[in-house]
Amino acid sequence: MRAVLIEDEGAAPRLVEDADESLLEGEIALDVLVSSLNYKDGMAIAGKGIARTHPLIPGIDLVGRVTDAAGAADDRFSAGDLVILNGDGLGESRHGGFATRARVRPDALVRLPAGLSPERAAAIGTAGFTAMLAVLRLEDAGLTPEDGDVLVTGASGGAGSIAVALLAGRGHRVLASTGRVEENGEYLRELGAAEVLDRRELSEEPGRPLQSQRFAAAIDAVGSTTLANVLAQTAWGGTVAACGMAQGPDLPTTVLPFILRGVTLAGINSVQCPLPLRERAWEALARELDPELLDSMTTSIGLSEVLDHAERILAGQVRGRTVVEVTQ
């Protein structure tokens, strides 16, 4: 088994060509076909508090083929099935997708939707899955394209990029906020953004707790001061779906947006998402996300390149989605 392995807390992760497969636990055995690199994976590899057990194989996503499900009480899967797993402790408290083999529990396992290749499913990954959960949360709260502009912060990242594409595909007018307007502006417009905003408009310091109403709703992957300003600029009755904390986990705001404008702050948790919602999100992703658009925001790397790319993703130097070919 080939794997990236974090052997001890504080130890530098390394690529192991003959990792001990007895490390793996779980009722369903898989050959991992592809994984993907996410911001959280970068944090785990950098030792920033994500890994909760050691040794640990990081990688919060995997797409694989079932090789043995005989030991599982859940009879939904059998050998040969293609499956997707995001979150559920992968790469945190359970061994994840940066390996050629895995053993997983069936509770959050989803069958690969028809018409979606393993590579494109990995390109979607946790980032795209989270983006769809956020879009569904906004629309379940009543958002329609007629309500006005929808903001996406961290728009050039994995979740942000797919959120822009999904919202635009559903007919919403999307404002995309990024720290590299000149570099990423055309890319975001190609994904469907109507306008591209410089993140400094929202991130430099907290403004007044109530500001001019600019957004009908928002998807925020940044947190901290940015999220505080987004809440302050959300229109009456709007919903803000929070799915990340690239700027920080703090929230320097007041209750005024909530009690004077009826704004809702909705948290998006992809890790513990219940199975029916997982299946709903993946079916929608397979149906709605333009394959060519997905390909345009995706790059591929080998497992041997993961450690270097983990540093780049933390430095904000990775745009869109990164698929990990675990056999390379």
- Could you tell me which residues are beta bridge partners of residue 62? 85
Q: At what angle do helices 181-191 and 158-169 cross, to 10 degrees?
A: 40
How far is 192 from 11, CA to CA, in rounded Å? 42
SS (H, E, C) 275-297: HHHHHHHHHHHHHHCCHHHHHHC
Show me where the domains of the chain are located: 3-112+297-325, 126-267
Q: State the fold for domain 3-112+297-325.
A: Quinone Oxidoreductase; Chain A, domain 1 (3.90.180)
pLDDT at 316: 82
pLDDT at 193: 97
Architecture of the domain spanning 126-267: 3-Layer(aba) Sandwich (3.40)
Task: Give pLDDT tens digits for 113-165.
Answer: 999 999 999 999 999 999 999 999 999 999 999 999 999 999 998 899 999 99
pLDDT at 70: 84
Both tokens of 207, joined, read 């403004």
Low-confidence ranges of the chain (pLDDT < 50): none
How far is 85 from 88, CA to CA, in rounded Å? 8
Buried b (16+ CB within 10 A) or exposed e, 103-139: bbbbebbbebbeebebbbbbbbbbbbbbbbbbbbbbb
pLDDT at 73: 76
Whether residue 160 contacts residue 154, with contact meaning beta carbons closer than 8 Å, is answered with yes
